[in-house]
Amino acid sequence: MSLYQVQKLIQKVNRDEKSRANFLASNKNFIGQFELTLKEKEALIKLEIQVLYKMGVHPLLLRPFTIIHGISEPDYLQSLKEKGKF
């Protein structure tokens, strides 16, 4: 597992407008720039919040990432507690 790479990707999407636009346009292509496991890639592509959280992605990175994807705070919190719809 490459938690550092996952968090680096999320931070780039959160902070850099060009990276965000590229990720939203084609997340599979954007993800290819990072050394990630198949599980990590799938969690990012499918936006599996609970999986990312359990991998160790820091909530202060994860929450802005979910906001970018239009996930409400209640849905985000629910997805951290149990397997939600995200």
Mean predicted confidence (pLDDT) in 41-55: 94
User: In the predicted model, is pLDDT for residue 11 greater than 90?
Assistant: yes
For residue 51, give the nearest of 83, 7, 76, 23 by alpha carbon: 83
Task: Say which amino acid occupies 1.
Answer: M
- Let me know: does 14 contact 68? Beta carbons within 8 Å: yes
The pLDDT tens digits of the residues spanning 20-47 come to 999 999 999 999 999 999 999 999 999 9
- Strand blocks (E) in 23-84: none
User: Both tokens of residue 63?
Assistant: 């929450």
Q: What pTM does this model have?
A: 0.88
Q: How confident is the model at residue 1 (pLDDT cuts 50, 70, 90)?
A: low
Give the chain's mean pLDDT.
92
DSSP state, residue 67: H
Mean predicted confidence (pLDDT) in 63-78: 94
